[in-house]
Structure 1
Amino acid sequence: MTSRRAFLSSGGLALLAAGVGGVPSFLTRAASATPSGSFRRRKVLVTVFQRGAMDGLAAVQPLSDPMLARLRPTLALDARRQLVDLDGRFGLHPSLRPFGDYFREGTLGIVHGVGSPVATRSHFDAQDFMETGRPGDKRADSGWLNRATGLLGHEPSTPFQAVALTPALPLSLRGEAPALAIANLEDFGVMAPGAMAATGESLEALYAQTAGDLLSSAGREGLEAANVLDQARLDQYRPENGADYPRSELGESLRQIAQLIKADVGLQVAFAEAGGWDTHARQGAADGSFARRAADLAQSVAAFWTDLERYQDDVVVLTMTEFGRTVAENGTGGTDHGRASAMFVLGNAVRGGEVHGAPLVLDPDALEDGRDLPVTTDFRALFAGVAGPHLGIATGDGLFPGWAGRPLDVLRS
């Protein structure tokens, strides 16, 4: 049974579908939250975690390196007939074609050779290192996005300052700063970390037990969140400018992030994720499992960006993936766990139209362990180079403890 203590916890409160037909009436009666639309517009960082390790060389392929065709006889694409030419040096996978338009417009930047300085082929360890921003430290339990939220320099006037559109709070957003996990904005109840979903009736009974504590910030957070969402009339939301979101996990998450941004509820840090990037077998070239995942990513982000036309100056989208794939294909038409990958940054303030990072050299003698694209850009340099100038936060030890590197210059000053 949901406990009184868990209900009052503010560190990781989750809102998710509970089958109770919207906001329970007692929640809207109990809270007197600030109405939606009354918060000052702020910059928003939207992060997309591609879980499973995206093949950066399939996504952004060098156009003139003959070694790639030798190492990937069935996976390498024809530079002239299949790839989307970006700058004469790199070509984009055809399923990512919408990104090519943003690249040419100067709003999309690509960083190749990104990864962790600590080598691991474990998805679990690599994802944890990336989400905590503390590579190699398996004891770290706070996320870099949570620390970024804490560095914003003002007390959250809204429960929606940092939100993950996921069933559970990701490690990226765990920590001292309040953050929410919301599985579905349009039909939700309230749940605490590790608890079962509660029905409206059980929540009302729980509310009766804790009414005396509702003046505390912890007790009010979930009730305010419910009230703000109820006032935002999210059930009446219609995407703008002909935006057509895919009916996928990522498409739905980005659609709901767009709802929160346009409802003006004070969102500043958002998190979404998409799995399925672990392409060990039957990866495919122009078609196949990689192409399907890439199409979903590109179409979801493109719909989101189209929907947000009036808000684009306030938003930056950053993708991340735990590591890349081997340069050579394996015997089952796939690629195995590797080291560096490619990441995308979209926004009007981005130094777009560039593939950032060190030149790619695919000769086996230049590869890490003779098989992997080496990491030439620490992921912390990229994350700091985006979050620092966009959110206006310090990028020193407070954001990435123990890191003394230099942020990557991917945003225009």
Structure 2
Amino acid sequence: MTSRRGFIKSGGLALFGVGMGGVPPFIARAADSDKIITPYKKKKVLVTIFQRGAMDGLMAVTPFTDPFLQAARPTLFMSAAKDQKRVPLIDLDGKFGLHPAMKAFEPFYREKRLAVVHGIGSPNNSRSHFDAQDFMESGTPFRKGTPSGWLNRAIGLLGHDATPFRAVSLTSSMPRSFYGDNPTVAISNLQDFAIQMKGNPMGANMASKSFEELYDQAASGLLKETGKESFDAVKMLQKTDVKNYRPENNAVYPASPLGNSLKQIAQLIKMDVGLEVAFAESTGWDTHFNQGAENGVFARNVADLSNSITAFWNDLTAYHDDITVMTMTEFGRTVKQNGTGGTDHGRGSCNFILGNDVNGGMVHGTMQPLAIENLEDGRDLKVTTDFRSVFSEVADKHLKINNDRLLFPDWTGKNIGVMV
């Protein structure tokens, strides 16, 4: 007898092949099946975006009244003052200013839908991109060998039946956050996935059994229901014209990897295939050289981030109560600029959380004046908010997960009030 857990897990592992260019035959057969049910009820969706390379939080959201920061960044410092040659920061609260290239975020902040957490980071002081990303995605900053990612554990704690498309990463390979026993999907391009399903590729099937055979042989009512949902999800993906998708409300996605990923996540949400956790990536944040101020590589990156998220949010107006978007980055940058007009690997950064259940219109966290005696190792913004306190609160409040002991082993901290 095939157990429900084994069935779902096997299906999820097979679906991993999608991210590497192949569609398992049992999925293709399911797409041709006539077994179909009505669309699913809308579910809460958590959309996570990893900014790989370590974003300079002090430039994204600048404490512009701090004289120590101005002295440490003679060519990079930006002000909110209007009477200057440079484009001013967007004054959020008289203390912090949003980078002008992120002007798309300002309405969300004023509407109290967008929150910023400053001084966020890992308690592990590694400045290695690889290690810091691994620690953040596993959710265990002092355990290198943790086999699962925190988002995979979150998926396992949702406590209800799922479709094969409960957790989808719009990446070419499975992110560390999704590693684990619970089924997840990596799809680099939704259009290619739909085309391959329509082509019904042949190959070795799962344990010599088609999806339909597994469904028909299942005696459990729960397994049969899961099978029906899977048929429905695949059928919807097969029929969708991904290439000619038209965003709603005049939303314009940037023609960037992140913009394209969020546009495809929006399509999956509208298709009601059971998506509950989505993952996307933004790269290019390792700004050692020629970082720029109001213009340059950093400005282009934050414009892409904010414009992509804004297009996604505007495209999904009917789903606002069901969606929360959260960004993350492995660490921040040095307070002092270097000799090549950039910043080096640091510690604390900031992140952004957007949603109707967010305690927005605030810069959360604690930041002391950036005098050298207040800096970590005399050079970096201190980490005053453990990333787990934010990630757990978002998961708890939005996805209704209430088991922090399993979600983040070894963590016994408190939430900071970023969600309502």
**What is the TM-score normalised by the length of structure 2?**
0.87
Name the residue aligned to 2:270: 262
Return 230-239 or 143-152, whichever deviates more.
230-239
Asked if the contact 2:12–2:164 (Cα under 8 Å) also holds between the matched residues in 1, the reply is no
Taking the aligned partners of 1:17 and 1:185, their CA distance within structure 2 comes to: 12
Taking the aligned partners of 1:229 and 1:410, their CA distance within structure 2 comes to: 35
SS at structure 1 position matched to 2:289: coil
SS at structure 2 position matched to 1:398: helix
**In the alignment, is residue 180 of structure 1 matched against residue 185 of structure 2?**
yes
**In the alignment, is residue 141 of structure 1 matched against residue 147 of structure 2?**
yes
Taking the aligned partners of 1:24 and 1:43, their CA distance within structure 2 comes to: 25
**In the alignment, is residue 249 of structure 1 matched against residue 257 of structure 2?**
yes
Asked if the contact 2:289–2:341 (Cα under 8 Å) also holds between the matched residues in 1, the reply is yes
Could you tell me which amino acid in structure 1 is paired with residue 113 of structure 2?
T
Structure 1, residues 250-303: CA drift from partner, whole Å, max 9, x if none?
000000111111111111111011110000110001111101100100110010
Counterpart mapping for 1:281-296 below 5 A: 281-296=289-304
Name the residue aligned to 1:11: 13
**In the alignment, is residue 109 of structure 1 matched against residue 112 of structure 2?**
no
Instruction: Give 1:395 deviation, angstroms.
Output: 3.9
Taking the aligned partners of 1:26 and 1:212, their CA distance within structure 2 comes to: 7
Instruction: Give 1:361 deviation, angstroms.
Output: 2.0
Instruction: Give 1:233 deviation, angstroms.
Output: 4.0
**In the alignment, is residue 78 of structure 1 matched against residue 83 of structure 2?**
no
Instruction: Give 1:183 deviation, angstroms.
Output: 1.2
1:211 to 198, 209, 212: 209
- Residue 335 to residue 242, structure 1, CA distance change in 2 (3 Å): same
- Residue 80 to residue 239, structure 1, CA distance change in 2 (3 Å): same
Taking the aligned partners of 2:258 and 2:140, their CA distance within structure 1 comes to: 26
Taking the aligned partners of 1:8 and 1:152, their CA distance within structure 2 comes to: 19
Asked if the contact 1:250–1:297 (Cα under 8 Å) also holds between the matched residues in 2, the reply is yes
Unaligned runs of at least 5 residues, structure 1: 1-6, 191-196
Name the residue aligned to 2:133: 127
Asked if the contact 1:384–1:395 (Cα under 8 Å) also holds between the matched residues in 2, the reply is no
Name the residue aligned to 2:45: 44
Instruction: Give 1:402 deviation, angstroms.
Output: 1.4
Return 389-398 or 53-62, whichever deviates more.
389-398
Asked if the contact 1:16–1:187 (Cα under 8 Å) also holds between the matched residues in 2, the reply is no
Asked if the contact 2:53–2:330 (Cα under 8 Å) also holds between the matched residues in 1, the reply is yes
Instruction: Give 1:225 deviation, angstroms.
Output: 5.4
1:380 to 385, 388, 399: 388
SS at structure 2 position matched to 1:187: helix
Taking only aligned residues, the RMSD between alpha carbons, in angstroms, comes to 2.8
Taking the aligned partners of 1:114 and 1:400, their CA distance within structure 2 comes to: 16
Asked if the contact 1:11–1:175 (Cα under 8 Å) also holds between the matched residues in 2, the reply is no
Name the residue aligned to 2:305: 297
Instruction: Give 1:204 deviation, angstroms.
Output: 1.4
Could you tell me which amino acid in structure 2 is paired with residue 351 of structure 1?
N
Could you say which structure has the higher helix fraction? 2
Instruction: Give 1:238 deviation, angstroms.
Output: 1.1
Structure 1, residues 98-132: CA drift from partner, whole Å, max 9, x if none?
11221111110000000000110100000000001
SS at structure 2 position matched to 1:10: helix
Structure 1, residues 62-93: CA drift from partner, whole Å, max 9, x if none?
12111111100010112213101111110011
Structure 1, residues 215-249: CA drift from partner, whole Å, max 9, x if none?
44799799775433113443442100000000100
Asked if the contact 1:111–1:357 (Cα under 8 Å) also holds between the matched residues in 2, the reply is yes
SS at structure 1 position matched to 2:202: helix
Name the residue aligned to 1:3: none
Name the residue aligned to 1:59: 60
Could you tell me which amino acid in structure 1 is paired with residue 133 of structure 2?
Q
Asked if the contact 2:233–2:273 (Cα under 8 Å) also holds between the matched residues in 1, the reply is no
Instruction: Give 1:18 deviation, angstroms.
Output: 4.8
Could you tell me which amino acid in structure 1 is paired with residue 204 of structure 2?
L
**What is the TM-score normalised by the length of structure 1?**
0.89
Name the residue aligned to 2:99: 93
1:326 to 328, 334, 337: 334
Name the residue aligned to 2:171: 166
Could you tell me which amino acid in structure 1 is paired with residue 67 of structure 2?
P
Taking the aligned partners of 2:206 and 2:404, their CA distance within structure 1 comes to: 45
Taking the aligned partners of 1:367 and 1:48, their CA distance within structure 2 comes to: 28
